[in-house]
Amino acid sequence: MSNRDRFRLRSVFGTATCLAAGWCFSAAAVAAPLDSTTDSQEASQTAQLGTDTSLLSGIPGEGKVSLEEVQQWLADPANHTELTVQLPKGLDAASGNIYIPEDNPLTRAKIELGRQLYFDPRLSSDSTISCASCHDPASGYAAPTQFGVGVGGQEGGRNSPVSYNRIITKEQFWDGRAGSLEDQAVGPIANPIEMGNTHEQCVSDLASNKVYVAEFDKIFPDGLTIDNVGKALAAFERTLVTGPAPYDYQVELDNFKKVFAADLEFLDEDPELKEEFDALQAAAAKHPMSESAKRGMKLFSGKANCTACHAGANFADEQYHNLGVGMDAEEPDLGRYEVTEQEKDKGAFKTPTLRNVALSGPYMHDGSQKTLEEVVEWYDKGGHKNPWLSDKMKPLNLTDQEKADLVAFMKEGLTGSFPKLETGRLPE
Ligand code: HEC
Ligand code: HEC
């Protein structure tokens, strides 16, 4: 093959990234290189989610945020510039799905306000529960309890899902009943068993805090309202994204090998291509997966058929499926059916992301499965039979080794980094 042919092939390679088997995304999303060192001029326009640490590091300073500090911060026009965002490697293949409502553009000031609200227990009726109580960065942005535990130790019937990688989806909650993060965010505040507050009380409590009032007044034309609390929280949540995991490096290397299969033994004749290959190999070696995890990666899209639903850059098809979880209860949670009232949706729940899933057990909408090993057993037996079971659920007949490989893939292959963020610095 001539160099020219190879060059043509290379541009073919450049047009698509294929995740798992058969999931390809267009290049527009993949093209932009990630660079964590942007100068401040640049950073006020484009934010590299997941790598730009200044986005989530809080208002400069120590301890509680004072009025003086916040006024200084709010006076800087750069903190009010609308940001366009780039997703980290891996998740960037879903850049086409980024959803930021037109009436809620991202700015540094708004993201910072949302960060404060997210970690502030003063949003709850007795100042004990914050969003982070159930979506804690230290617990994989979820909670280690079976159900979310709210004010007065009250429990709901559902497990706390992770609150990251929400920027690429519209529908929120296990049953998708909120159409946006803005809608979702104000829900827990008034939920009697979560934060147990009322929207009116929450707004009047915030209104007694000079720091919050200064922020809302500067950031929103209509100042402090419950809708704007939701907007600020949503803006912050959109910046919570997972960084690349070993899978993302391995899949790039595998794709290269596939595309240039016929060329691999002649790489020495094409220094540019060889350089590319060496770089991909080095990156994969730097973020290693065991042989077991690599076998699990093949099973995931092959015999175990997980990509039938856990597909795309976020390992979630954003659809609703009945796996039979909880369907043996006397009065099962009917999930999506409660929203659509369509028979086919009985017992169906939204496919969750599997990025960083090893960190956020227990699992499933009802927190009924404690470990990834248990989850794999559930799929191996084909779920739990019930009239609405997804037709994608079939017994898998996995060997013990294959089950272990799948678990190893989820633990090693899908665990990546989270953005660094300030959790303690709140308004005085
Ligand atoms: C008491 C625990 C608890 C608190 C406090 C709480 N949540 Fe949740 N959160 C949950 C549970 C449980 C669900 C799933 C509920 C459902 O699907 O019906 C959920 C769902 C979500 C989702 C949807 C994720 C998805 O994949 O669809 C987001 C986002 C979220 N919460 C953000 C927040 C924010 C922001 C706050 C603070 C205003 C908050 N939560 C407060 C327990 C909690
Ligand atoms: C038919 C679609 C479908 C298939 C196939 C599927 N999943 Fe799921 N997965 C889901 C849905 C939907 C849920 C949530 C179900 C619930 O809570 O009732 C889920 C939940 C999970 C969870 C729990 C995540 C959490 O945060 O609670 C893990 C882990 C998981 N799946 C892994 C896998 C693996 C591994 C495979 C392949 C063996 C697989 N899934 C195949 C749709 C699917």
Asked if residue 199 belongs to a domain, the reply is yes
Which of 155, 160, 205 for mutating ligand 1's site (highest number of atoms within 8 Å of CB)?
A: 160
Which of 375, 392, 394, 397 for mutating ligand 2's site (highest number of atoms within 8 Å of CB)?
A: 375
Asked if residue 229 belongs to a domain, the reply is yes
pLDDT for position 238? 98
pLDDT band at 44, cuts 50/70/90? low
Asked if residue 406 belongs to a domain, the reply is no
Cβ of 295 below 6 Å from ligand 2: no
Asked if residue 281 belongs to a domain, the reply is no
Judge whether residue 16 has pLDDT over 70. no
Cβ of 306 below 6 Å from ligand 2: yes
Asked if residue 311 belongs to a domain, the reply is no
Cβ of 93 below 6 Å from ligand 2: no
Average pLDDT score over residue span 181-195: 96
Cβ of 354 below 6 Å from ligand 1: no
pLDDT for position 45? 82
Asked if residue 296 belongs to a domain, the reply is no
pTM: 0.91
**Spacing, Cα 351 to ligand 2 middle (Å):** 6
- pLDDT tens digits, residue range 119-172? 999 999 999 999 999 999 999 999 999 999 999 999 999 999 999 999 999 999
Asked if residue 394 belongs to a domain, the reply is no
Output the domain CATH number for residue 113: 1.10.760.10
pLDDT for position 87? 97
pLDDT for position 19? 41
The pLDDT mean for the chain works out to: 91
Domain count across the chain: 1
Domain of residue 145 covers 40-238
Asked if residue 354 belongs to a domain, the reply is no
Ligand sitting nearest the alpha carbon of 360: 2
Judge whether residue 17 has pLDDT over 50. no
**Spacing, Cα 335 to ligand 1 middle (Å):** 15
**Spacing, Cα 325 to ligand 2 middle (Å):** 10
**Residue appearing with tokens 């929203």:** 339
Cβ of 365 below 6 Å from ligand 2: yes
- pLDDT tens digits, residue range 367-405? 999 999 999 999 999 999 999 999 999 999 999 999 999
pLDDT for position 112? 98
